[in-house]
Amino acid sequence: MRITMIGTGYVGLVSGACFADFGHDVICVDKDAAKIDALHAGIMPIYEPGLKELVATNVKGGRLSFTTDLTEGVAGADAVFIAVGTPSRRGDGHADLTYVYAATREIAAALTKPAVVITKSTVPVGTGDEVERIIREVAPDAKAWVVSNPEFLREGAAIEDFKRPDRVVVGTEDPEATAIMEAVYRPLYLNRSALMFTGRRTAELIKYAANAFLATKITFINEIADLCEVVGADVKDVSRGIGLDNRIGSKFLHAGPGYGGSCFPKDTLALLKTAEDHEVPVRIVEAVVQVNDSRKRAMGRKVLRAMGEGDHRGKRVGVLGLTFKPDTDDMRDAPSLALIQALQDAGVSVRAYDPEGVEQAAKMLTGVEFVADAYAAAADADALVIVTEWNAFRALDLQRIAGAMQAPVLVDLRNIYHRRDVEAAGLHYHGIGRG
């Protein structure tokens, strides 16, 4: 099939490359000429394991191409995916649909044959209705079906998630649109149970509900971790004990410094605004947002307490990990941002290392010294903090770390080390929820 992907950000580029790998003819469109030029040169705009190789393979095979010309990209397409950004709108937290609607108008004007127009971007309930209205307004004679097909890709594992999904949600009740979407996802038919067809508005809400629920699990275990520290329990064992219940499951029950990234913060906020507009209280989600926001800065105070009482001005902290999770360069709403700000507000200087996120972090942080590895971050530090659980931090030479530091304090915000191993190396250990 001929597939057009509008947007070459995280969702659009990964989805386009995977569709091409399925054997479809895919063209990705983006207005950013510099980004398209870079893609033609084999340079990825994001870090995602395996993506560079996947793109190169399918470009070489003639199944994947890139252009800035939307009219050229849409002409002759069977399916046009809208995968543009929907950031939180300044001032009120609603999802900003400016890019979605602008893309819709251009798509409608460029259609040359019957096609499915699919919102892949995360959008509030009812967005598909407005997309359909715009198409009818711009091109009243065009035959187009509007479908919702939200993405559920985890950064760092996006290619695997796309090719072996838990589910593919398709929001349409039109038989012709259903047939086209079945053809688009035919390579997944060995995993047919993954395909779930439902109403368009239902599909739009599924994405927000899923992310809000996962954010709730993270926030719940973080609050339990705080209780564990006070009563002398171990949150890792608590997590395992409740996660073994198959009604609960073990995923997203790892205590830490709070959730971040491109999805959970903006999607929970957008869900709150949608509920508010319809006068439906969602107090659990509201509490999740508030608790998570306050937790990130509280992690800075935790590090300060680990260094002891008194004035911390002039002290130095090494930070390991800046991105919101490993295997990505995404710094959006990363816990490290609030943590570092809290340290700097206390007069502490920060030296930081991240395997992939330094370039993005440098655009968002000031006064931070970025270094080449974990040991450089530890040098002469009064505390070393693990913020992101990159594999590179899981087997550090702890004795070397202790010897390099001004004061041997390790604050493990991801609980990747055992206290006995850290203390055996001569370091004072502070974990999350480990009383």
Which of the residues 18, 28, 228, 263 is marked catalytic?
263
Query: Is 263 annotated in the active site?
Result: yes
Q: How far is CA 158 from CA 12, 47, 287, in A?
A: 11, 11, 29
Could you tell me if 172 and 145 are in contact, meaning their C-beta atoms sit under 8 angstroms apart? Answer: yes
Residue 83 neighbours by CB distance under 10 Å: 30
Q: Which of 73, 197, 77 is nearest to 142 (CA)?
A: 77
Sign of the torsion angle spanned by Cα atoms 403, 405, 409, 411? negative
Instruction: Report the C-alpha gap between 336 and 376 in whole angstroms.
Output: 18
| Unique residue bearing structure tokens 């202790």 | 402
Q: Name the phi and psi angles at 177, rounded to 5.
A: -65, -40
> 3-state SS string over the chain?
CEEEEECCCHHHHHHHHHHHHCCCEEEEECCCHHHHHHHHCCCCCCCCCCHHHHHHHHHHCCCEEEECCHHHHHCCCCEEEECCCCCECCCCCCECCHHHHHHHHHHHHHCCCCEEEEECCCCCCCHHHHHHHHHHHHCCCCCEEEEECCCCCCCCCHHHHHHCCCCEEEECCCHHHHHHHHHHCHHHHHHHHHEEEECHHHHHHHHHHHHHHHHHHHHHHHHHHHHHHHHCCEHHHHHHHHHCCCCCCCCCCCCCCCCCCCCHHHHHHHHHHHHHHCCCCCHHHHHHHHHHHHHHHHHHHHHHHHCCCCCCCCCEEEEECCCCCCCCCCCCCCHHHHHHHHHHHCCCEEEEECCCCHHHHHCCCCCEEECCCHHHHHCCCCEEEECCCCHHHCCCCHHHHHHHCCCCEEEECCCCCCHHHHHHCCCEEECCCEC
Residues that are catalytic: 263
